[in-house]
Amino acid sequence: MKKICIYAIFITFVKKTVFMNEAILIQPKDKDELAFWKEILKRLQAKSIILTNEDLEDFNLGLLMKEKQTGVTCTKDSILKKLKK
């Protein structure tokens, strides 16, 4: 799997004993900027991961699904029929 230069930085905030996880996605424009972010994350001892193209596609698909969510269910046959058009 080809890896792309996108880092996800996971930050945990403590607010009145409730843990809130948030993520920041950073896409460096070149290798120098990638090296910069790697060094910053290392110094901060922040948890980070490199996302693959497949990971990014899954993430974007999830965002689209959430955005277009209607609450209406449909059958497998109706989906396959639409896909064949």
Residue with tokens 């403590």, as numbered in its chain: 14
pLDDT per position as a tens digit, 65-77: 888 888 888 888 9
- What distances in angstroms separate CA 21 from CA 5, 10, 53, one per listed residue? 22, 7, 23
Longest dimension (CA), the chain: 53
Domain ranges of the chain: 1-54
pLDDT, residue 55, reads 85
pLDDT per position as a tens digit, 10-51: 545 555 555 556 777 888 888 898 889 889 988 988 888 878
Q: What is the mean pLDDT of residues 48-70?
A: 84
Q: Taking the model in full, what pTM does it have?
A: 0.47
Q: What is the DSSP letter of 24?
A: E
Terminal Cα-to-Cα distance of the chain (whole angstroms): 31
Query: Which strand ranges, in their side-by-side order, compose the sheet holding 48-52?
Result: 18-26, 3-15, 48-52
